[in-house]
Structure 1
Amino acid sequence: MAKGLLYVETWPSAPEREAEYHSWYDEVHLPEVVALDGFVSARRLAPADGTGPFVALYEMEADDLPAAVDRLQEAVMRGELRMSDALRTDPMPMMRLMEVTAVHEPTGR
């Protein structure tokens, strides 16, 4: 079974909607995505300097990683995932699927 990460850059639709954006992302979107087959966990990151996009990292395990991402996108298109207009969609969020090729964990800890 392949392991991967889906990297997604997003922005709030407007500065005054940032709190709503974070609430939706953390309380609605992440739980809905990790409930889908192929998605194991999710985490979000904020730019340390306060500039740039917010990033979501979805840990994945699936026989076919691109097919799992396709299922996610199809669920969005069918309205099975609750989306929010607090998420900026113009331009669309930037997504990139990465496959894990190596893992190193320090020894002696």
Structure 2
Amino acid sequence: MAKGILLVESRPSSSERETEFNEWYESVHMPEVLALDGFVSARRFRPVRAGEPYVTVYEIDADDVTVAAKGVFAAAQSGAFRMSDSMQFDPPPAMRILELAAEQ
């Protein structure tokens, strides 16, 4: 079983909608992602400097980390996620898939 993470950098669509963005992200979006096969936990970090993105780290345990992460893209494209316009989409959230290389 491979271990990895999906790292997502996202921002609210405006400073006026930041509270709405955070409520949606934590109450709706994170649970939707965690319902996908292979996703076992999530942690979300807020920026300490103005203008920087929020960062969410989703932990993945799956036979293939990239296949599990592709489930997020498929769900977003198919409309399975309840997306919110309180999240900035231009530019879109930055996402990286990383596989565990070493653990101590």
Q: CA RMSD in A?
A: 0.9
Query: Per-residue deviation at 1:102?
Result: 1.3
Name the structure 2 match of 1:85: 85
Query: Following TM superposition, where does structure 1 have runs of at least 4 consecutive aligned residues deviating by more than 2 angstroms?
Result: 48-51
Name the structure 1 match of 2:43: 43
Name the count of aligned residue pairs. Answer: 104
What amino acid does structure 2 have at the position aligned with 1:30?
M
Query: Per-residue deviation at 1:48?
Result: 2.2
Identical pairs, percent: 50
C-alpha distance in structure 2 between counterparts of 1:72 and 1:47, whole Å? 23
1:59 aligns with 2:70: no
Larger radius of gyration: 1
What amino acid does structure 2 have at the position aligned with 1:42?
A
C-alpha distance in structure 2 between counterparts of 1:88 and 1:19, whole Å? 13
C-alpha distance in structure 1 between counterparts of 2:65 and 2:29, whole Å? 20
SS at 1:86's partner residue? Answer: coil
Gaps of 5+ in 2: none
C-alpha distance in structure 1 between counterparts of 2:3 and 2:70, whole Å? 16
1:68 aligns with 2:68: yes
